[in-house]
Every structure is written in structure tokens, then in C-alpha cells.
Amino acid sequence: MRGKVIVVAGMVLLLACMAGCSEGSGEETRGRGRGGPGGPGGGRGAGAGSRGVAAVPVEVMPVERRDISSFIETNGILEAENEVDIVARTSAPIVELLVEEGMEVSKGQLLARLDEQELRAQMEISRVNLADAEQVHERAKVLFAEALISSETFEQTRSDHETAQAQLEAARIQLRYAAITAPFAGKIVQRYVHFAEQVSANMPLFRLSDFDPLLCPIRVPERQLPRLFDGQQAYLTVESWPDQQFEARVLRISPVIDPATGTVKVTLQVNARQRLRPGMFARVFLETDSRPDVLVIPRSALSLESLGDTVYVAVDGVAARREVELGFREGDLVEVVSGLAVGEPVVVVGQDGLSDGTPVQVLATRALDGNRRGDGGSVGSGSDSGQASVARPGSGRGHGGRGRPDFSQMSPEQLQRVKERMRARGMTEEQIEERLGQAPPSPPQSSDP
């Protein structure tokens, strides 16, 4: 029995010795990896280099100086200043159609002709009646002078004569109505009738529209009334030509406020440039103020994942977070009042995956006109290999979550502000909810004990 106890104790002692040797060997290996004092490859830089630091690929745009304006943005529908339905003034069948939809016509140009036969016959009847009335009236003059008829009878013959004259003139007018002419120069936008169709008085035949000038009535909140004046400059954009701006100016301002909506009607006169058409939906930008030679950046540079106005600048190979104060907004540009200097490279692509201190790799430098100016080099932090690995834009790799907000810790008011900023960048509700549902990236874990 005593022998068995000795054997078991020996086996336990042997296992303990083997574990101690294995731990010593691991410590020695880790010591060589980190580099002890005076040892080859000493210091932590080599360890970081072996792991590699992910650099987020981005595109940048330098801060520039430009003129920028403040605008009242609203919507409107274009309409012609002169647009009428040309109607028939008499009853007759159509015997001639001379214009079609889309044709340009001049003032007084013949558009259609009605059958004149019945109208001419009516005019002849009126002429005969006038001749008879005139003859009777002349005889009555002689008889009245000889006192053979009463004054009442004489006055009746004179009245009949004047009535016959008026009836003949009315018949002539009806005959002229058989010729349908344009009341002003413009374009035929709609034809309502067909050849040989019987038309009656006041029946629409054509719609005529004058495209020059085009008007765009808009509604502006009454609080903006002090910023409005006649001749004020504006521009419009339409879906048909989204990359073009059409000049406009304020033609008139309504003297009254609509109490139901609290708005004032402002009518703009638009330079159509032979492209715009009545009925087009337009986005209207009414200029209220202008600032020359100020710092501007694109709206795309603004970070969505922040409560304030924030951008990232590529500085010495890392992303530097900057809080900025914004001024006027014009289209895709915003004025920077403070926080940036001219020429600083602001990140415009890939900033949604950045945090303060994230290594970045500048792939291209853009200009405000949209042109690229070459590729940048790798700008990660140094390591033994001299290279930094490249992460997918927006992946959150790199220095992790420094400066990234934790949406789960925000108040409802703060979340609403973040959502409004995302909507301003054109994100859908699904994209916003997906972004807010992502957990903030964790900071990198050190391998050192």
C-alpha cells in the first residue's frame, strides 16, 4: 500500500515539472516577440507592425473660397402669363382646320374656318330688309312734310330703318366669326375639335398659350416678407434639366396675406430659354443675401453620426475630427464660419466610418467642380513593414470608436437631431434605422499583458 502512494506522488511531481517547463518556454518566446531591453527588435513598435493598422480609404476635397448666397427654397408650377381657350362665336360646321397642336402662330393668324353659306344668306336677308325699311322711311318723310301722317307713324318708320341697319351689321359680324383667328402670338397647346364637326357658340376650339414670359407663382411664409422686393433675383431647377439653372426675378408681390396659410403670393418671371413649359414642377431658390469670398465645403463632408456640425480632415495620415460653425447653404455647398482653414483636405467620401485618430488612405483629391486630381498614397502610421492595411470605407476598422457616438445612450431629442441630419443627406428611413441600429465599434484590444 505504501508503495502505491509513492508511485502516485511521483507521477504528480513529474506533471508539475513538465507544466513549469512549458510556461517558462512560453514566457521566453513572448519576451523575444516583444523584445527585451537591449534585445533584437526591442520596443512595442515591432509588435504593432506585425499586426498592421487598418487605414480607411477616403477621398478628400480642399476647403476653397467662393461667393455664396442665402436662399428661400420652395416649390412652384410654371404657368403662361397669357393662356386662353379660343371659342366659337357662332354656330356652323368646321370646313377648314389650319393648325395643329404645338404649332407657333402669330397674332391674327387664321386657325380654322366655319361654313359661311348660312351666314351669308342671313346677311343678304338683312340687306333686303334694310332696303325695304329705307324705302318706307323715305316715303314717310315726304308724307310727314305734307302733314299726311302723324308724327308717331313717322317715328316708327325711322325706328324700323335703324333696326334694319343694326341687323345687317350683326349679320356681317356673324360672318366674320366664321374665320377663327389667334388673339395674340403663341403656341397651340390643345385642339378640341375635328374637321367637319358642328360647333356652337362658346364651344372651345383651341387652347393658345404664350410661353414668353413664363410665370411661376410661389407661396412664401409671411415672416419672410421683409426679405422680399420687386426685381429680386432667383433661379429654378426642373427634373427635365436637373443640371441647369433657369434665371428668374420677382415680377409682383401680392399686397395681402392668405390668413388660411399665413403665406404671401409671389409671382416670378422666368427665362424659359425655349425649354421650359407651362405645367412643369420647379424647385425655386429666391436669393435673399450674398456673401463674397468665404470658405465653403460640400454638404457631403458633414458627418451624420454627430449631434453638431462635424467634419474630418486628413492630417498626417489620420482623420482629425473638427467641430465647425456653418453659415449660408447654397445647393450642395455650405459656408464655414469657423473651424477650418482654406486648403485643408476635408474628407468627403468614407467619413461615415471614421473616428478621431483613425488612419486613412487618401485615394483621390476632388475639386468643388467634381473633378478628381490623382490618387494619394498610403498614409497610415509607421510600422516595421512600412505598409498599412486598407479597410473598406465605413467598415469602422482601424482605431475603433474614439469619437463615435453610442446611439443607445442618446436621449430622444438627440436621436431626432441625428435623424434630421441624415434625412438632409438624402437617406431613407430604412437606411437611417439601419445606421442607428449599428453598435459603436469597440476600441482595439492590446495584446500586451
Question: Is residue 122 within 8 Å of 166, Cβ to Cβ?
Answer: no
- Same fold? 71-81+206-291, 116-177: no
pLDDT computed for residue 409 by the predictor: 58
Contact 364, 373 (CB under 8 A): yes
CATH of region 71-81+206-291, choose from 2.40.30.170, 3.30.230.80, 3.90.1720.10, 3.40.50.150: 2.40.30.170
On the 0-12 / 13-18 / 19+ scale of CB atoms within 10 A, 253 is: middle
Residue 226 has pLDDT above 80, yes or no: yes
Q: Name residue 199's beta-bridge partners.
A: 92
pLDDT, position 438: 55
pLDDT band at 299 (very low <50, low <70, confident <90, very high): confident
Asked if 80 and 278 count as a contact pair (C-beta separation under 8 A), the reply is yes
Interstrand relation of 54-62 and 345-349 (parallel, antiparallel or unpaired): antiparallel
User: pLDDT confidence of 330, banded at 50, 70, 90?
Assistant: confident
Amino acid identity, position 97: L
Among 344, 342, 228, which residue's Cα sits nearest to residue 289?
228
The predicted structure's pLDDT at residue 130? 95
Q: pLDDT digits over 8-32, tens only?
A: 445 545 555 454 544 444 443 344 4
The pLDDT tens digits for 397-438 are 333 333 445 566 567 776 776 777 667 656 677 767 766 665
Which among 155, 290, 164 is positioned nearest to 233, based on CA atoms?
Answer: 290
Give the type of residue at 419: K
**390, amino acid identity:** V
- Arithmetic mean of pLDDT, 99-121: 95
The three cell numbers locating residue 235: 433661379
Query: Is residue 335 within 8 Å of 296, Cβ to Cβ?
Result: yes
Q: CA–CA separation, 375 vs 396, rounded Å? A: 22
The arithmetic mean of pLDDT across residues 81-88, rounded, is: 94
Fold of 116-177: Helix Hairpins (1.10.287)
Examine the pLDDT at 444 and tell me if it is beyond 50.
Answer: no
| Residue bearing cell 427665362 | 271
What's the mean pLDDT when you consider all of the chain? Answer: 79
Does domain 54-66+292-437 bear CATH number 2.40.420.20?
yes
- Residue pair 342/61 in contact by the 8 Å Cβ criterion: no
Q: What is the pLDDT of residues 150-161, one digit of tens each?
A: 999 999 999 999
pLDDT at 371 exceeding the cut of 80 = no
* pLDDT in the model for residue 208: 95
Percent of the residues in the chain that have a pLDDT greater than 90, as a whole number: 53
CA 241 to chain centre: 11
Q: Where are the domains of the chain?
A: 54-66+292-437, 71-81+206-291, 116-177
Q: Which residues pair with 335 in a beta bridge?
A: 296
Q: What is the pLDDT of residue 11?
A: 57
